[in-house]
Structure formats: C-alpha cells, structure tokens
Chain A
C-alpha cells in the first residue's frame, strides 16, 4: 500500500481563489481526518469522517471551508474563497484502529 496520498504537495494561489485539496486514504481504513498545521496553533483537527460520514466538523474554521467524502477511497477539503490566513500545511490521515493514524505527506498551501 502506498500509504495515505495527498495532492497537490504544494499549492500557491491568490486571495479569493478556490482551493481543493485531495486525499486518498489507505484501503480498508474506516476513519479519515483532516488537520491543519501552523506555527502559531500547532495541529488542529478540522473534520473527521467515519465510514464516509462526517462525524465532527466543529474544527472547521468558517463556512469558507467544506469537506466531502463521496466514497471510501477519496476525500476533498475545499476553501472558497481562500484568504492569506489560510496558509498552512494541511494533513489528511486515515485510521482503522483507535488512535493509530497514518498521515499523508501534507499539502503546503500558500495564499498570497
């Protein structure tokens, strides 16, 4: 298994543009998590899914953020419109066993 795959690795965009981050979890894992990492706030849980169903999106900062998981092998995190303060590394992780998360390599987002 290639692990959790995220794309793109890097994204540079201008303020106001729509950004879509993608994640392919490990096959067979039933939970998927989206995290955001910044120097100031560390690792923040944005949203997580269990069996493709969103369970807790209380970490999603604003209505500009949305996440979907249309099937067990794909999830997206969308920011529309993007703002400079959204600049961060966004991680996706999947899990089969409680607490045992496998992380992707992250997407470095820069909003100018």
Chain B
C-alpha cells in the first residue's frame, strides 16, 4: 500500500522565515501526491497536487523520486499560513480511488 510519513507533528516558524513541511512516501513507481490544508475552524481543502506543478498561496511541492519526498515549501511564512497540513497519496483500488492522509503537521507562524 502507498504510505506517507509526516515526521513533524508541530512546526513553529517566525513570520518571514522559510517553511518546509516534510512528507516522505514509501512506494515505488510514479506516485501522485496531494497536499491538503485545514485552517482554524474551516474545512479541509485541497492545497495543491504535484502533477499540476503550480504554486498556491506561495507554496510549492516538488516530487523528489531519489529521496522519495514531496516536501511543501514556502520562502516566506505568513501568519495566515498557520494551519494543519496533510500529505496524501491516492490509492487506486481498481474501481475507484481513495485518499488516505498522513498524520499531519501543524504549522504555527509567530511574530
């Protein structure tokens, strides 16, 4: 089964500092990975998917097959980035696809 590991439960950074939320996966092949975010008192929502290679709210995530990682990065953290972040690989079960999430990392941006 496709699995991901988010080693940090809590990441605290100062405003303006760079952010890197770690996600490692443990399966072969070409994985497809997603980052979801849950802001305080809001719904969990899709932040970005790696195949789109887009930057959302200043965040990017590059798939590194050599390191089997899909870290989420932002050069300058903002207070509004404080949230819970989940890395997730979809698992195709033949007839449909399910999404299982990592344990999540809480990002805390302080002044």
Which positions in A face B, CB cutoff 8 Å? 31, 33, 35, 42-43, 45, 48, 50, 55-56, 91, 93, 95, 98-106
User: A42-B102, A48-B98 provided; 4 other pairs, C-beta below 8 A?
Assistant: A31-B96, A35-B101, A50-B96, A100-B34
In the docked arrangement, what's the CA distance between A42 and B102, Å? 8
Asked if B95 is an interface residue, CB under 8 A from chain A, the answer is yes
Which positions in B face A, CB cutoff 8 Å? 32, 34, 36, 43-46, 49, 86, 88, 90, 92-93, 95-104
Contact of B98 with A42 in the complex, beta carbons under 8 Å = no
In the docked arrangement, what's the CA distance between A42 and B101, Å? 8
Identify whether the interface residues of A are mostly helix, strand, loop, or mixed. Answer: strand
- B86: chain A residues at CB < 8 Å are 42-43
The 8 Å CB contact of B98, one of A33, A100, A104, A106, is A33
Contact of B93 with A103 in the complex, beta carbons under 8 Å = no
Contact of B90 with A98 in the complex, beta carbons under 8 Å = yes
9 contacts between A and B (CB under 8 A): A42-B101, A45-B98, A56-B93, A95-B99, A98-B32, A101-B46, A103-B44, A105-B43, A106-B43
- The residue in chain A whose Cβ has the minimal distance to the Cβ of B46 is A100
- B36: chain A residues at CB < 8 Å are 101
